[in-house]
Amino acid sequence: MVKEMPSRDQVQVEETWNLVDLFKTEDDFEVALKEIEITSSEFNKRFKGSIQIASDVGEALHEYTKIYEKIVPAGAFASLSLSTDQTNTDAQMRASKFGSLSAKVSSQLSFLNSELVELPDNIIEEAISKFPTHQLYLEKLLKKKKYQLHPEVEKTLAAYSASFGAPYKLYDTTKMLDISFDNFEVNGQEYPLSYVSFENDWEAESDPEKRRAAFDAFSKKLREYQHTTAKTYDMHLQMEKTTSDLRGYSSIYDYLLFNQDVDRSLYNRQIDLISKELAPHMRRYAKLLQKEHGLDKMTFADLKVSLDPEFEPKISVEESKKYIDDALSVMGEEYIDMVNRAYDERWIDFPQNVGKSTGAFCSSPYGSHPYILISWSSRMNEVFVLAHELGHAGHFYYANKEQNIFNARPSLYFIEAPSTMNEMLVANHLLKNSDDPKFKRWVISSIVARTYYHNFVTHLLEAAYQRKVYDRIDKGLNVNAQILNDYKRSVLEEFWGDTVEITEGAELTWMRQPHYYMGLYPYTYSAGLTISTQVSKRILEEGQTAVDEWTEVLKAGGTKSPIELAQMAGVDITTDEPLKDTIAYIGSLIDELESLTEEINQNA
C-alpha cells in the first residue's frame, strides 16, 4: 500500500543529493551572484561598441565564456534546490533571485551577438581561423543573422527573459503546490494520493479496482485546474508565436526546430511513421495485458500495469547499483567509475517527498558533475529509469570534459540517444543472464512497457498532440481547455482504436507533462531511441569497436549535427530505415511476449 508522503526534512540525508559540491554555503552562492553581476557590468563597459577586428572577437568571447561558466552553477544550484521541495520558501526566493539576476545579466550581455552579426563576414571568418574554440559559436551566430533584431530590441527581450519563463514556473507552481489530491476509497478502505504516488505506484497497481479508482480520483482533481493550466499554456504558446513572427521565421515550426539543426521532414516522419506503423503492435500488447489480467475491458487506466506484477522484484537503491554496474560495464572503466561516483558522492536524489518534482531528470552543470533526480519506488523498472538518467550524466560527463561550455550541448534531436542507449544495455544484460521463461518475459515486457512504451508511445502521442496545437497556433489562433482536451482525446483514440477504451479523464493527460514548455521536445525521445536501438545492436554484435565509436560520439557534444553524430555511430537517419527497423524490432518483442506467455500458461 502507498504510504503518506514524508516532508523533505523527514527523508534520509544519505539518499539525497549533495549540492555542497556547487556551493558550500548560502553565503558562497550570494558572493557568486554578486560576482556575476559585477563581471557582466564590466564586460558591458569594456566591449560594447569596441569589437572591431578579429582579435577583439576572440578576446570578447573568451571573457564571455568565463561569465557563463559562473552563471551555470549558480543557476543549477537555484533550480536543483527548488526541484526537491517546491514548498520550501527559501528555495522559492533563491530561484526567483537568480531569475531576476539572469534577466538583468542577459540584458547587459545581449549587445555581444548584436554587434558580432553586424561585423563583415571576413572578420568573423578570420576570427574563426584564429580562435577555433569559438568556431561553432560564431557559425551558429551567422546562421541566425537574418533572424537577429535591432540591438535595443534584443536588449529589451533579454531583460524580459525571466518573464518569458513565467508560464512554465506558473505551471509548476500550480502542479506541485496548489493541486492537493484527496484520498480515494476502495471497498471502504482509504488510500493516499499525490502526483508522485500516482505516477510511480498507482498507475502500475496490479489490483484493477484500486488502479482505476486512483485514476478517477487523480483525473477528477486535475479537471478542477484545467482552465488555469490551459490559460498558462496558451500564454507560453502565444509568446513563442510572437517571437517566431518578430524574428521573421516562416512558421513556428521553423523557429522551434532551428536550434535542433534538423528540418521539418525529420520531425514529421518521426510522428507519422510511428503513429501509423507502431499502433498495430501496441494494440496487440494491450490485448495481451487485458487477457493476462482477466480484464472485462482494456481502459486507458490499465495501460501501465505490468504484464506479470507478481514476478516483478522489489529492489533497493543499493541493489540497483550492482544491476547498473553489470549492465553498463560494457561501456568501459571510466564510464563505470562515473556511475559509482554518482552513488558514492551523492549525485542522485532518491527520496519521495512532498513538493518534489515529478518524473526524473539529469542536470549537468558545466564545471561540476551531473545531478540526477528520481523518486525511488523500489520497483525494478526504476533501474531502467536510473540507467536512462545516468545515460544523460555519462553523455555530459564526457562532453563537458572535452568541449567548452558553448560546444558541449548537442541538438535536442539527439539528446535522448545516450539515455535510451543505457536502457537498451540494461535490457540486453538482463536477457543474457537467464533462460527462465518467466524472467525473460518480465525483462522483455519491461523493455516494451518502460523503454518503448514510455519513449515511443507516451512521448510520441504527446508529440502528435503537440503538432495539432502548433498547427492551430501557427494560424494565429488560441487554445483553451476544451480544445486541448479534444486534441488529446482524438490522438489517443486514433492510436489505440477500439482496443482500448479512452476513459473519462484520459484527455487531461496533457496537464501532466512539463515538456510542452520546452519547445518540440517530446518527439525527440523516439528519435533518440531510434538511434540507440541501432547502436545497441551494433554493441551486441561488434563489441568494443562499436563502444569506442559511441564514446567518441558522446565526447563530441554539440560540435556536430544530429545527422553527423548518428553517422559517427554507424546510423543513417536521413532515411526511413532505422526507424522502420526499430518499429519492426518492437513488433518482434511483442511476438516473443505472446509466445512466452503461451509457453508459461501451458506449463502452469
CA distance 124 to 53: 9
pLDDT at 377: 85
CB-side neighbour CA atoms (13 Å) of 425: 30
CA distance 415 to 407: 14
* CB-based burial label for 379 (10 Å; 0-12, 13-18, 19+): buried
CA distance 92 to 170: 12
Contact status, residue 284 vs residue 593, Cβ threshold 8 Å: no
Structure-block grid coordinates of residue 175: 502542479
Q: Is 265 helix (H, G, I), strand (E, B) or coil?
A: helix
Phi, psi (degrees; rounded to nearest 5) at 44 = -60, -45
Strand order in the sheet with 361-363: 348-349, 371-373, 361-363
Distances in Å between the Cα of 247 and the Cα atoms of 154, 236, 394, 471, 477 are: 10, 17, 36, 19, 19
Structure-block grid coordinates of residue 392: 544523460
Contact status, residue 63 vs residue 44, Cβ threshold 8 Å: no
Residue given cell 560527463 in the structure block: 397
Contact status, residue 278 vs residue 457, Cβ threshold 8 Å: yes
Q: Is 420 helix (H, G, I), strand (E, B) or coil?
A: helix
pLDDT at 3: 62
The neighbouring-strand residues paired with 362 are: 372
- CA–centroid distance for 234 within its chain: 21
**Per the confidence metrics, is the pTM higher than 0.85?**
yes
CA distance 77 to 367: 13
Q: What are the b/e assignments for 544-564, b being 16+ CB within 10 Å? A: eebbebbbebbbbbbbbbbbe
Residue given cell 561598441 in the structure block: 49
Short-list 91, 86, 57, 244, CA closest to 180:
86
Phi, psi (degrees; rounded to nearest 5) at 16 = -100, 160
Number of neighbours of residue 103 by Cβ within 10 angstroms: 18
- CA–centroid distance for 57 within its chain: 34
Length of the chain: 604
Q: What are the b/e assignments for 448-471, b being 16+ CB within 10 Å? A: bbbbbbbbbbbbbbbbbbbbbbbe
Contact status, residue 522 vs residue 459, Cβ threshold 8 Å: yes
CA distance 593 to 65: 52
From the options 3.40.50.10490, 1.20.140.70, 3.40.50.970, 1.10.10.10, give the CATH code of 8-158: 1.20.140.70
Instruction: State the 10-residue block means of pLDDT for the chain, 604 residues long.
Output: 78 95 96 97 96 97 97 97 94 94 94 93 94 95 91 89 89 89 94 89 93 97 96 97 96 95 92 94 97 96 90 88 95 96 97 89 96 91 92 97 96 92 91 85 88 87 96 98 98 97 96 92 91 92 94 96 95 93 94 94 83
CA distance 238 to 399: 34
Structure-block grid coordinates of residue 151: 540591438
**Alpha helix stretches (DSSP H) within 48-150:** 54-83, 89-109, 111-118, 121-130, 135-143
Distances in Å between the Cα of 513 and the Cα atoms of 50, 194, 346, 459, 516 are: 45, 15, 27, 9, 7
pLDDT at 99: 92
H/E segment holding residue 362: strand 361-363
> 93 CB contacts (<8 Å, ≥6 apart)?
none
Distances in Å between the Cα of 286 and the Cα atoms of 213, 281, 291, 567, 576 are: 20, 9, 9, 35, 26
Short-list 596, 208, 531, CA closest to 391:
531
Distances in Å between the Cα of 415 and the Cα atoms of 225, 256, 328, 342, 578 are: 32, 15, 19, 20, 17
- CA–centroid distance for 511 within its chain: 16
All structural domains of the chain with their residue ranges = 8-158
Q: Is 365 helix (H, G, I), strand (E, B) or coil?
A: coil
Contact status, residue 403 vs residue 559, Cβ threshold 8 Å: yes
Instruction: Return the sign of the alpha-carbon dihedral for residues 298, 302, 304, 310.
Output: negative
pLDDT at 310: 80
CA dihedral 373, 16, 97, 116 (to 10 degrees): -50
